[in-house]
Amino acid sequence: MKLRLLAAALAATVVLPLGIANAADLEVTHWWTSGGEAAAVAELAKAFDATGNKWVDGAIAGSGGTARPIMVSRITGGDPMGATQFNHGRQAEELVQAGLMRDLTDVATKEHWKDIIKPASLLDSCTIDGKIYCAPVNIHSWQWLWLSNAAFKTAGVEVPKNWDEFVAAAPALEKAGIVPLAIGGQPWQSAGAFDVLILALSGKDTFLKVFGDKDAEVAAGPEIAKVFKAADDARRMSKGTNVQDWNQATNMVITGKAGGQIMGDWAQGEFQLAGQKAGVDYTCLPGLGVNPVIATGGDAFYFPLLKDAEKSKAQEVLASTLLDPKTQVAFNLKKGSLPVRGDVDLGAANDCMKKGLEILAKGDVIQWTDQLLSADSQKQKEDLFSEFFASSMTSEDAQKRFAEIIASAD
Amino acid sequence: MTGQANAGRPNQLLRNLQSKIASIPMILTAVVIFLGGTLWTVFYSFTNSKLLPRLSFVGLDQYERLWAAPRWLVSIQNLAIYGVFSLIFSLVIGFLLAALMDQKIRFENTFRTIFLYPFALSFIVTGLVWQWILNPEFGIQSVVRSLGWSTFSFDPLYTPSIVIYGILIAALWQGTGLVMCLMLAGLRGIDEDIWKASRVDGIPMWKTYVFIVIPMMRAVFITTLVIIASGIVRVYDLVVAQTSGGPGIASEVPAKYVYDYMFQAQNLGQGFAASTMMLLTVAIIVVPWAYLEFGGRKRG
């Protein structure tokens, strides 16, 4: 203990000239464990270590569904970490209301987050009762269809430009022994893919009516029935995926064993890590090539309320480091996500990211289900769609149950 | 005299004082954690607690939602199938193995070790091993196919209708060794003279087992039953490791529903309602049985 204090004191004197008076070890928990994600999080750690503090990595494997319960019980159980990842939106809502999270409004005002964070809805998702509780680090959008150019070449068909062409090309892919659409077995993947289908095929207004206003009539109506028909296609096309994790499914696309995957832009990190080039080895279609609107979900860091003054100081430093332009660029390039600042230069961005930036600049953005629905409703939706995609449930039955979930959603 | 009597009374309380003091922590644990925790859980299952417990009562709403949830119904059905089959098969296979082992065979120690070995592995490891063995791409199916039967199909883990049997196989592999050992101990407890007597009377061996030895092993069977049954109700880690409830929700179990709703869905009320139902099921089975088994004997 004494040694550590001494080391901290020494470190503090060393970095004093840089204007930071205190240094501390800060444990940061997150669920970024796939190859591309780990490379990205190392950038954050590097930037934070450069401030003289120390990033203690607390990666929790097994995706958000496994990691979040651990994070939440550590915070509610009185063993809070220094900072933790959540998807901004409603996942940490109750923790904030219970007074367990730290108010970041001071840092935010000092650094003018209101002016630099674009689109503004990101900061709104961090704001509860007028106070800011999280630092958004990236924009992740779910609305992408990733296609393997090699797979389509093997099957002898052209790479599709939208969802309908993709469905039409499925038989050719199957004939060549390729799974047309890879969907991993984890429940959030099938539920997410369905949300994407709603937004892409029935448009922004219907999407908002269903998930924003929780209008059960629309959810039971003909517009959504169309989407369920498409989901039925997707189910047929995904037969034989037989993997669990999303990155294994992405890997099927990378190796040409699968034709495509509906997955968020975090899949891009995997393509990059495998040395593939956008436009050459793989193709990306935002909004499934039908309706290029992207949602501004993503990741944010929340800071539990700590008693230790030094660590609290370090939390402030971390919060501002995360939004530093340099960190934003380095992190998001590796992660495949879009920066939360409109004013950084992403010259090194690849084709797919440029497409995303363009849509962002046009303002074709929407709030995602993480922000619109409670974790409880999301879970019910996941149960429904993981059942739907693995069974022979009719799309009418599924739609009826979907409408029930929407009717009772909060 | 009075002094002696006075000294005698507190003696009753103070007798074995050390052991009484030593058991205080366990009594406290049992009362506060087990009993208190149970009551607390049941109590809060009538509230609409989300991420954190809060006192706003909603009556039986949580239970209504629970029994309307397809996933819960699938879980109950799976537990019933898994429970019945694992009870029957582990008892039957365990007893058969023990009976075979009891024939004064050579290398008994070696066989016993082999059969008991899986029990040394955790459910997580068991689940992963069987996930690989049953995987169609590099498990049994592909091995048999590579031997020439190219249409052979054995794919329980990705076939919703039979996935629970895939889990059952793993559970039996892991658990029967222990049942065998318990049974073997029971068989060794049977007096040699009984065997000699039945041989003199010319009773066939299987009849001796079924009509004489098994009834004499009643106590061992009850112990085994309790051990197997408690393992059935709490089955969770095996499912998580092997299928994580999939494909879809085809291999979900109640314990997993409880965990997922309490922590992933951040809906404590719903999770508490589900765990209360689990407790109730166990109570319905165990209480009458325990009453008959232990209550009856005391009186008789």
Residues of B in contact with A374 (CB under 8 A): 50, 266
Name chain B contacts of A378, Cβ cutoff 8 Å.
265
CA distance B196 to B204: 12
Please tell me if residue A343 touches chain B, with a CB cutoff of 8 Å.
no
pLDDT value of residue A305: 92
Among the listed residues A38, A37, A54, the one whose alpha carbon sits nearest the alpha carbon of residue A46 = A54
Find the mean pLDDT for residues B130-140. Answer: 88
Q: Given an 8 Å threshold on Cβ–Cβ distance, is B263 in contact with A73?
A: yes
Domain boundaries, chain B: 61-299
Q: How far is A190 from chain B (nearest CA, A)?
A: 9
Interchain contact B56–A (C-beta under 8 A): no
Residues of B in contact with A375 (CB under 8 A): 51, 264-267
Helix H or strand E encompassing B194: helix B192-200
Q: Select the residue of B136, B246, B266 nearest A376 (Cβ to Cβ).
A: B266
pLDDT for A3 equals 52
Dihedral sign (CA A304, A103, A20, A343): positive
The SS3 of residue B202 is coil
Confirm or reject contact between A380 and chain B (CB < 8 A). Answer: yes
Chain A residue nearest residue B52, CA to CA: A94
Read off the pLDDT of residues B253-291 as tens digits, 9 standing for 90 and up: 999 999 999 988 889 999 999 999 999 988 887 888 778
Distance CA A270, CA A253 (A): 10
Which CATH architecture best describes the domain B61-299?
Orthogonal Bundle (1.10)
Q: Would strands A127-128 and A131-132 be described as parallel, antiparallel, or unpaired?
A: antiparallel
Summarised one tens digit per residue, pLDDT across range A174-224 is: 999 999 999 998 889 999 999 999 999 999 999 999 999 999 999 999 999
Mark yes or no for CB contact B250/A391 under 8 Å.
yes
Q: Across the interface, do B158 and A378 touch by the CB < 8 Å criterion? A: no
Given a contact cutoff of 8 angstroms between Cβ atoms, the answer to whether A369 and A140 are in contact is: no
Q: Which residues of B touch A242 (CB under 8 A)?
A: 135-137, 158
The half-sphere exposure of A311 on its side-chain side, counting CA atoms within 13 A, is 18
Which chain A residues contact residue B135 at CB under 8 A? 242
Task: Please indicate if any CB of chain A lies within 8 Å of the CB of B137.
Answer: yes
Residues 6+ apart with CB under 8 A from B82: B164, B167, B168, B171, B232, B235, B253
CA dist B100 and A268 (Å) reads: 59
Residues on chain A touching B71 (C-beta within 8 angstroms) = 383, 387
Nearest CA in chain B to A191: B248
Distance CA A396, CA A370 (A): 25
How far is Cα B17 from Cα B31, in angstroms, rounded to an integer? 20
Contact A386 B50 (CB under 8 A): no
For position A5, what pLDDT does the model report? 53
Choose from B159, B261, B266 for mutation: most chain A CBs within 10 A. Answer: B266
User: Which H helix or E strand runs over B73?
Assistant: helix B70-101
For the ranges A299-303, B98-102, B197-201, B246-250, which has the lowest average pLDDT?
B246-250
Residue of chain B minimizing CA distance to A189: B248
Sketch out chain A's domains with CATH numbers: 2-136+299-336 (3.40.190.10), 144-295+368-407 (3.40.190.10)
CA atoms of B216 and B23, how far apart (whole Å): 34
235-294 in chain B: CB under 8 A from chain A: 244-250, 259-261, 263-267, 270
Say yes or no: A76 contacts chain B, CB-CB below 8 A.
yes
* In chain A, residues 354-373 whose CB comes closer than 8 Å to chain B: none
Which has more confidence, A11 or B20?
B20
Consecutive H or E run containing A135:
strand A134-136
**pLDDT beneath 70, residues of chain A:** 1-22
Of chain A residues 188-247, which have a CB less than 8 A from chain B? Answer: 242, 244
pTM, two decimal places: 0.82
Q: How far is B260 from chain A (nearest CA, A)?
A: 8
| Interface predicted TM-score of the whole assembly (ipTM), two decimals | 0.78
Partner-chain contact B248 A244, CB within 8 Å: no
Q: Do A244 and B244 touch (CB under 8 A)?
A: yes
CB contact B113 to A (< 8 Å): no
Q: Which residues of A touch B245 (CB under 8 A)?
A: 187, 386
